[in-house]
Amino acid sequence: MPNNYWHFMVELYNYSFETCEIPDKFKEIHMVLLAKKGAICKPDQTRPISLIDNFMKVQERLFLNRFLVILENKGILPNSQSGFITGRQLQTHVLLRIEQISSYMANSSPVATVFVDYKSAFDQLWFMGCIGKLRKGGIPDPC
């Protein structure tokens, strides 16, 4: 896209955020089936990959950047948060906790450990409760 058209895109994205509406064209998703083994296979031996529109990818990135600024300004984002934050990886956080537990055990300190299956935990997430916590934290309601 030529550089002189970007101001139109900025206006479109800002309007989209203000009205909580996403243009239908941005919502188009293309599904591609990739074969797990071999070039030709049955549909049940494929892995579906969804390819979202580039404009939607930009919109998601803009939203994430704006949302992170709100969270940081309000002091809501804990330092231990690792997911979806540049430079903070879950693996690093897990390794830090393992090192901490090992250190306690080496010093004969009592250690209580809880193991959580995060995938199952996320599948059972109470989304309305999360929205309520965001409201209490000062995050404005969607339109």
Interval 17-74: pLDDT, tens: 888 888 888 888 888 888 887 777 887 888 888 888 888 888 888 888 888 888 888 8
Beta bridge partners of 33: 48
Higher pLDDT, residue 32 or 119: 32
Beta bridge partners of 93: none
89 contacts: CB under 8 Å, gap ≥ 6? 82
Residue in the block written with tokens 């970007």: 6
Rounded distance, CA 92 to CA 94, Å?
5
Q: What is the CA radius of gyration of the chain?
A: 21
* pLDDT the model gives residue 72: 81
For the whole model, what pTM was predicted?
0.50
25 contacts: CB under 8 Å, gap ≥ 6? 53, 55
Pure H helices in 20-126: 54-73, 90-106, 118-123
* pLDDT the model gives residue 118: 64
Nearest by Cα to 64 from 21, 23, 29, 17: 17
Task: Report residue 35: phi and psi, to 5°.
Answer: -70, 135
Nearest by Cα to 14 from 66, 68, 72: 66
pLDDT above 90 covers what percent of the chain?
A: 0
